[in-house]
Structure 1
Amino acid sequence: MASAVADTGFDAAAIAAHWLTAYRAATPANDVLYAAGLDDPAWNAALGELAERTGDDLTAARERAQRHAEDIGTGFRIAGEGEERPWPLSPVPLLIAKREWDGIVAGIAQRANLLESVIADCYGAQTLVRGGSLPATLLTGSPYFLRPMMGLEPPGGCHLHFVAFDLCRGPTGEWRVLADHLRAPAGAGYALENRLAMARMLGGLQNRLNIERHAPFFAAFREGVAARCRRTDPRIALLTPGRFNPSYAEQAHLARYLGFLLVEGGDLAVLDDRLYLRTIAGLKRVDALWRRVDPRLIDPLAFDSHSAIGVPGLIDAMAQGEVVIANSPGSGLMEAPAFAAFLPRLCTRLTGESLKLANIATWWCGQPRECAEVAADLDNMVIAPAFGVATNVLGDGAAMLGSRMSAEMRAALLADFERRPQDYVGQEVVHLSTMPVVADGNLAARPFTLRVFAARAADGHWHVLPGGFAQIGEHPDARAAVMGEGNWSADVVIHGDKAVAPVTLLQPSDTTQLRRNPGTLPSRVADNLFWLGRYLERGEALLGVVRALLGHSISADSGAALAGDTVRRLVGLLVSAGAAPAPDSLSRADLTRFAEAAMDSADDWRGVRAINRQARAIGAVSRDRLSADMIRLLDAPYPVRGSALDRAGSLQRRYSALAGQSAEHMGRTDAWRFHDLGRRVERALTTLSALQALAHPQATSDDLSALLDLADSQISYRQRYLTGMARVPVLDLIALDPGNPRGVAFQVAAIGAHLAALPVLSDDGIAEPQQALAAELTAMVATAQAATLDLDALFAMGRTLGDLSEAVARRYFLHGSEPLRAAGLVVG
């Protein structure tokens, strides 16, 4: 601390003590920081570290934490919204001592084992129902009870692999369970990202507090899933609903961190009761899925026949033991709040123990006595749907405080109790403990809940993530029922007296089999990266035409006008590309409006803005394949200020940065090959279009100069030829010179090299269609002569390029059932 004082000119310890004293003076006694006391070494260390980093400016600390979260790429989406929001991270972590945490861990492990036993019985012998411990209505009335799972023993013998629980800390410090998350528990990725951000924010805290690390938990989960697969070196995938899922960013981060393939239902196919991934090299076996898709949608043959995101036959493959699904479909049955009313008795019956972590008190209204108690005490209850879905009165399924119900709603609820009491539960109103958060430049107390995660390890035991994440209420009201959107999150730090050994998911170097093949590339991913390359090149080409229209790069006067015929041909390039409708005239004003339309066109035109939107959408589903810097460039706001020429220049610099990212930072894998292949195909096509428009037999100096601008070859040409503009030398440089990186010949050579390196489906040595077309195109360019190169030859090259692009799509971007019928199919 002394070094910080010397270097920065302030006393971090004094600042932390001031924060602590001021906070305690305005905070209730049930607050976690208040309860710890003024002399607690952990909280003093955390606040001191924060003061060392940011001084006494807590607003700056909050902004800094948020920047770290955004740099990592953390984001989430509210259902119904198209754009992601940044993940809200508080700079103040929640501190829990190891002794207290050990009690939580024991309670979580007990609860996870109890839920596993009840789920297994519900889908098996159903002794709990037959013995009267569970009402049959809890099964038959629940939308999450999946009858096709009856009698199906999951591979490895367990339904649950990864679970989450929402906990609350009561006014006297006791921990209780608010909710169970079993269907597709979300949030572990956010807990991991919170820890990464806070490690940057408060880097010295790890060693000062001996903080428990997250890596062993994720390693245990990965090993636990692998241990239940039949193959010793299994292929594991994370099944996502896609980029519009609220937690897609988290899923992509987890897949990358764990080394799982990020797949969608369309990437998968079942053949002979085995699950396969559609890849550029054929079908590849998948042994396990970490499911983040609604279980009712994962197999249209077994559950919802209208599902378009599932995998037909997946449950059959699971039934045969050929694929592990974590968690097993139907396990969400136990999420229903109605079950919470029965868990205490079930725990005693099945384990001989009481619950170590109690539920919040719950009364299921499907029982007459309990329903009467709830009706008589509405003002002191939270009313919630018994099965987590909408009811006649509660509408969208949200819980509601009885004391806040209008007279009309109260009457409607009591009437519905008479008709369908089984649809409701009453729960006690929980008053939460508070923790510090930065608000209005000060530390302020806000209520919080804690989401805790547990994973089944290879030995079958539960490992609990040391920390999870805290969700912090936006308002001081400490009732759990009012927690909702707009909350903050905080890292949760488990600290102790013993040093924590550094742990990583990386295996020891002497036990890891070396590999230079980066792994399997799904066809969908190859398709996305190919079109990302094409869209980026297409946008850059359109910007080049806009800039040529609005200002000539060689002229000393950047606003000098081109000849009318040249302008007309440039306009034709934009019109033929579908960027904008033709202008009324070639006046400067009309051309400016036309250029602006080509940049900012509406959805029914394929202008720069629309192309930019397409590229951004592909980036959104490629988070596990692209760097954070590349994602940020794709997500950058579209420029709206300045002249059209200024904005075109700004966008073109952004496209250049994206090209640099792909050229210098993407590994030379098949993923990069498809991205670069898309770039080369599009650049060759747009260059050929420019050649056909501007290199005609009667081309003028303006035509040729504009063509050199579009091909970014002005300097090359003028260094090589000092006699002025001539058609044949320009044609040779742009169409046929293999050393010009912006020319057609260079693109054709790169296309051929990529297709020669990509996998083929047979080993007979005969070229596949896309390779044959590349060879044909190479021959067309190699045998052409600039002096005799006419428009028909240029058109033929463009047509062959188009055929080649379609052949690439047919070969590698397989859709529907086609890969199951393809001759020479590779299965591995």
Structure 2
Amino acid sequence: MIAMHPAPLFDAATHAGRWIEDYLSRAPAHDMIHAGPVAPWRAMFEELAAVASDDLGHARERVQRHATDIGTGFRIIGDGEERPWPVSPVPLLIDGAEWAGIAAGVRQRAELLERVTADLYGPGRLVADGTIPAALVTGSPLFLRPMVGLDPPGGRHLQFVGIDLARGPTGEWRVLADHLRAPAGAGYALENRLAVARTLGGLQDKLNIQRHAPFFTAFRAGIAALCKRTDPRIGLLTPGRFNPSYPEQAHLARYLGLLLVEGADLAALEGKVYVRTIAGLKRIDALWRRLDPRLLDPLAFDTHSQIGVPGLIDAYADGEVVLANAPGAGVLEAPAFAAFMPTLAKAMLGESLLLPTIATWWCAGAAQRAHVEANLDRLTIGPAFGHLPLGLADHASRADLLADLARRPQDYVGQEEVALSTMPAVVGDRLEPRPFILRVFAARGGDDEWVVMPGGFGRIGEHPRATVAAIGEGLWSADVCIHGPDPVTPVSLLTALDSLHVRRNPGTLPSRVADNFYWLGRYLERGEALLAAIRVLLGNSIDIDGGAVLPPATLGKLVGMIVGAGAAAHPANLSRSTLTGFARAAMEDEGWQSVATVNRHARAIGEASRDRLSADMVRLLEAPFPAQRGMLERAGSLQRRYAAIAGLSAEHMVRNESWRFHDLGRRIERAMASARALRLFGMADGARGGGHDDLSTLLDLADSQISYRQRYPTGIARVPVVDLVALDPGNPRSLAFQAARIAEHVATLPVLGDDDMAEPQQAHATALMATIATADAATLNPDTLGDVERRLGTLSDAIARRYFLQGAEPLRAVGLTLA
């Protein structure tokens, strides 16, 4: 007789059914699960239960961990540190039939926004015939007068738009806001999908979820179609790493294969725009800008802008560079324009809006103002043009607000309060209904037609009204999955097999990026060298007779080395307790160039280079400073982190120019540290160094104790130690090894001239290697080592002048390449 095993009492289906039953007993009637069939939600919750069993809190932690692994983050203005992107493990599910209506409305609205923008900056018929008042346009700070009369390349002002939607209690969708200046969030939608897909791996096939990749493919093709060259160079123009959505921008640039550039990377020359690269100026054809348009060009807009590109708008006017979106399109973002959108749809399209705009009254009109004043308690009062009026900014009383409305009515709008539909969110260890807003994106494809991203991203809040829309404290984002009965063809941004020409050149390397990688290498090596000195000072030598019992003369030199690095103030004496406090300051004091400060510099560079660094590298750079109780334990933890970063750069970074500059920075910094250590601890003069304790310390600082003991088991002698640390080409910590690698890197980097003559950085590298190659361990002296340090500094300056073109660097340097 065969024993029958009963089905588990709490399998995934059981958990999912119990979650849904409990949730529906508390969810309001306008919740998304009530909106349609429960079966798709049941399938999703079964996937969630298969991952997290009965622990919804574990599911939330798991999807958040995936988002962190992807590198998703954001910054609230005023924050010094990035925050992890808050992702809900429960996606928003929308049926494909309902989505078809939403997508049609979004396409219609995108076309309306394009036509209105073209008229405002072109013939101006809408104002001339009275369809909209002139003050709506000319009174807006978002209207850019210098753009009037300029025809955008390809004749289109908009290539990418974002639209915020709210679902009301009866299931209707309405537009809350349009985003045209620099629509943010598409990257977060992509990252949400990646995080949720890694958590709910089987959901894609179960529900036939539509993919994002075709949307991004169409958008990239749409920008390329507007460029004059058949193989255009396209960049994503970012304000930089302090922008709240910089991580999203870096992710999008990497995903789309765009060049992530800042204003300082670009130069306008003779009517064209170029990116400053290590190989000279390279033509750039299009920019997907995430920079405030008023900061784009100080010659055209804000003269105080230090992050724009002088002459960019002239090149745009000549049709030599595409800007997506066109500067000035943001005029339609003003809430006051929402009051006129139904009229504009009739005038420009000859049809009503498929997605109605939230009811809005611009108070510039007497009747509209009267309506707002009469319904003040039932409306949301907001700024007409995006900037808070005085009455709102000062949190005025009702009487003060009415008085300010009477003084400057054109500064205000009144909007209906929209009650939002809810969706399930994990709060604690259970599902709770929470209101949400959906941001949807539309892009112009290569065929000039609008394509809508299937989904977007949801923002989950606490308040049932539509006023809470920003991601921040207490808010979450959600993946938005469009599902249907038909299987979805797998599509990605990867090109079809065998359709790409193979190349090993990774492409354009902007000078700023090369600069960052160079200094990342220098800072990491500087931190490691400083940490080594601190560890030796605290007694971490493997030499049984050294370390903790170092004589005062050797300790004084170690202290001098650390003080000379700017890591801490000179201690009052060399007692053990004083040295421990000194070491702690050199490790952690942010007021000096301590290890913690050096780490902060490296972390900042990592944040600015995340589009070119692996997630593991970024995670190590952003790891918090160790907090172990003992100083040696803290130092050891940091040393292992440095070793892990070095291992990643040595074994995982492709040997391209980015890696070469990173390794070049490491080699120059290590060579400088080795020369200083040799001068202090390895010279023959007993007053300067060369004794047993000094030599043992030198081997510790050069991480060469084991190599020396294996080679010379009988004891320590000065000449063999100096030869190993300074002149042995096979020792990866030696001065000679660094010089050889430096010369190799410099010889491989691009040059500007074609006369086959050495450039300054190459000549300096050759001279440095010759100085070390002709030295002898027995006669090596402090003067020669000082000369080596000076040569290294001169070489570093020459590399910076040649490759790190920034600021006022002449654009017409001799031999400068224009391509």
Give me the TM-score of the superposition, normalised by structure 1. Answer: 0.96
Instruction: Determine whether 1:116 maps to 2:114.
Output: yes
Instruction: Determine whether 1:596 maps to 2:596.
Output: no
Question: Where does residue 683 of structure 2 map in the other structure?
Answer: 696
Select which of 647, 651, 657 maps to 1:660: 647
List per-residue Cα deviations over 1:215-255 (Å, max 9, x = no partner). Answer: 00000000000000000000000000011100000000000
Select which of 360, 385, 389 maps to 2:358: 360
The amino acid across from 2:639 in the alignment is Q
List per-residue Cα deviations over 1:80-136 (Å, max 9, x = no partner). Answer: 111011111011000001110000110000000001000000001100000000100
SS in 1 for 2:309: coil
Partner Cα separation in structure 1 for residue 649 and residue 793 of structure 2 = 24
Contact persistence 1:432–1:447 (CA under 8 A): yes
Question: Where does residue 489 of structure 1 map in the other structure?
Answer: 477
Structure 1 gap segments, 5+ residues each: 397-404
Contact persistence 2:546–2:693 (CA under 8 A): no
Instruction: Determine whether 1:304 maps to 2:292.
Output: no
Residue 689 of structure 1 deviates from its aligned partner by: 0.5
Contact persistence 1:552–1:706 (CA under 8 A): no
SS in 1 for 2:549: coil
Contact persistence 2:674–2:702 (CA under 8 A): yes
The amino acid across from 2:309 in the alignment is V
Select which of 385, 393, 400 maps to 1:387: 385
Contact persistence 1:539–1:612 (CA under 8 A): yes
SS in 1 for 2:221: helix
Select which of 442, 460, 465 maps to 1:479: 465
List per-residue Cα deviations over 1:758-807 (Å, max 9, x = no partner). Answer: 00001111010000011001111111111111111111111111110110
Instruction: Determine whether 1:687 maps to 2:674.
Output: yes
Instruction: Determine whether 1:30 maps to 2:30.
Output: yes
Residue 483 of structure 1 deviates from its aligned partner by: 4.3
Question: Where does residue 285 of structure 2 map in the other structure?
Answer: 287
Select which of 755, 763, 771 maps to 1:772: 763
Residue 725 of structure 1 deviates from its aligned partner by: 1.1
List per-residue Cα deviations over 1:489-548 (Å, max 9, x = no partner). Answer: 110000011111110111112221111100000000000100000000000000100011
List per-residue Cα deviations over 1:601-643 (Å, max 9, x = no partner). Answer: 232x211111011001111101011110000000000113322
The amino acid across from 2:491 in the alignment is V
Partner Cα separation in structure 1 for residue 542 and residue 424 of structure 2 = 61
Give me the TM-score of the superposition, normalised by structure 2. Answer: 0.97
The amino acid across from 1:680 in the alignment is R
Q: How does 1:519-534 map to 2 (within 5 A)?
A: 519-534=507-522
Instruction: Determine whether 1:425 maps to 2:416.
Output: no
Residue 6 of structure 1 deviates from its aligned partner by: 9.8
Question: Where does residue 773 of structure 2 map in the other structure?
Answer: 782
Contact persistence 1:191–1:491 (CA under 8 A): yes
Structure 2 gap segments, 5+ residues each: none
How big is the alpha-carbon RMSD for the aligned residues of Structure 1 and Structure 2?
1.3
Question: Where does residue 233 of structure 2 map in the other structure?
Answer: 235
CA change 1:418–1:657 in 2 (3 A) is: same
List per-residue Cα deviations over 1:439-491 (Å, max 9, x = no partner). Answer: 12111100000000010001111110101011001x2x311124443210110
The amino acid across from 1:46 in the alignment is M
Residue 660 of structure 1 deviates from its aligned partner by: 0.5
Contact persistence 1:819–1:825 (CA under 8 A): no
CA change 1:559–1:684 in 2 (3 A) is: closer
Select which of 784, 790, 801 maps to 2:792: 801
Question: Where does residue 516 of structure 1 map in the other structure?
Answer: 504
Question: Where does residue 314 of structure 2 map in the other structure?
Answer: 316
The amino acid across from 2:49 in the alignment is A
SS in 1 for 2:373: helix
Q: How does 1:198-277 map to 2 (within 5 A)?
A: 198-277=196-275
Partner Cα separation in structure 1 for residue 610 and residue 578 of structure 2 = 41
Contact persistence 1:178–1:359 (CA under 8 A): yes
Contact persistence 1:717–1:730 (CA under 8 A): yes
Select which of 667, 674, 681 maps to 2:661: 674
CA change 1:157–1:584 in 2 (3 A) is: same
Partner Cα separation in structure 1 for residue 713 and residue 372 of structure 2 = 93
Residue 556 of structure 1 deviates from its aligned partner by: 4.0
Question: Where does residue 401 of structure 1 map in the other structure?
Answer: none
List per-residue Cα deviations over 1:663-700 (Å, max 9, x = no partner). Answer: 11110000000000000000000010000010121211
Instruction: Determine whether 1:184 maps to 2:172.
Output: no
Select which of 710, 715, 719 maps to 1:719: 710
Partner Cα separation in structure 2 for residue 491 and residue 558 of structure 1 = 59
Identity %: 65
Partner Cα separation in structure 1 for residue 34 and residue 55 of structure 2 = 22
Question: Where does residue 157 of structure 1 map in the other structure?
Answer: 155
- Which 4+ residue blocks in structure 1 deviate beyond 6 angstroms? 5-9
Select which of 328, 334, 337 maps to 2:332: 334
Residue 9 of structure 1 deviates from its aligned partner by: 7.4
Contact persistence 1:695–1:727 (CA under 8 A): yes
Contact persistence 1:552–1:561 (CA under 8 A): no
SS in 2 for 1:95: strand
Question: Where does residue 14 of structure 2 map in the other structure?
Answer: 14
Contact persistence 2:382–2:388 (CA under 8 A): no
The amino acid across from 1:500 in the alignment is V
List per-residue Cα deviations over 1:263-293 (Å, max 9, x = no partner). Answer: 1000000000100000000000000000000
Select which of 456, 459, 469 maps to 2:444: 456
Contact persistence 1:282–1:825 (CA under 8 A): yes
Partner Cα separation in structure 2 for residue 775 and residue 194 of structure 1 = 51
Contact persistence 1:116–1:160 (CA under 8 A): yes
CA change 1:7–1:305 in 2 (3 A) is: farther
Select which of 712, 720, 726 maps to 1:735: 726
The amino acid across from 1:655 in the alignment is Y
The amino acid across from 2:32 in the alignment is V
Partner Cα separation in structure 1 for residue 465 and residue 39 of structure 2 = 30
The amino acid across from 2:465 in the alignment is R
The amino acid across from 1:281 in the alignment is A
Contact persistence 1:552–1:562 (CA under 8 A): no
SS in 2 for 1:788: coil
Question: Where does residue 527 of structure 2 map in the other structure?
Answer: 539
Question: Where does residue 126 of structure 2 map in the other structure?
Answer: 128
The amino acid across from 2:180 in the alignment is L
Residue 558 of structure 1 deviates from its aligned partner by: 8.5
Residue 723 of structure 1 deviates from its aligned partner by: 2.7
List per-residue Cα deviations over 1:357-398 (Å, max 9, x = no partner). Answer: 0001001101110110000110110001010112111118xx
Residue 7 of structure 1 deviates from its aligned partner by: 11
Instruction: Determine whether 1:415 maps to 2:403.
Output: yes
Select which of 82, 92, 95 maps to 1:94: 92
Q: How does 1:569-648 map to 2 (within 5 A)?
A: 569-603=557-591, 605-648=592-635
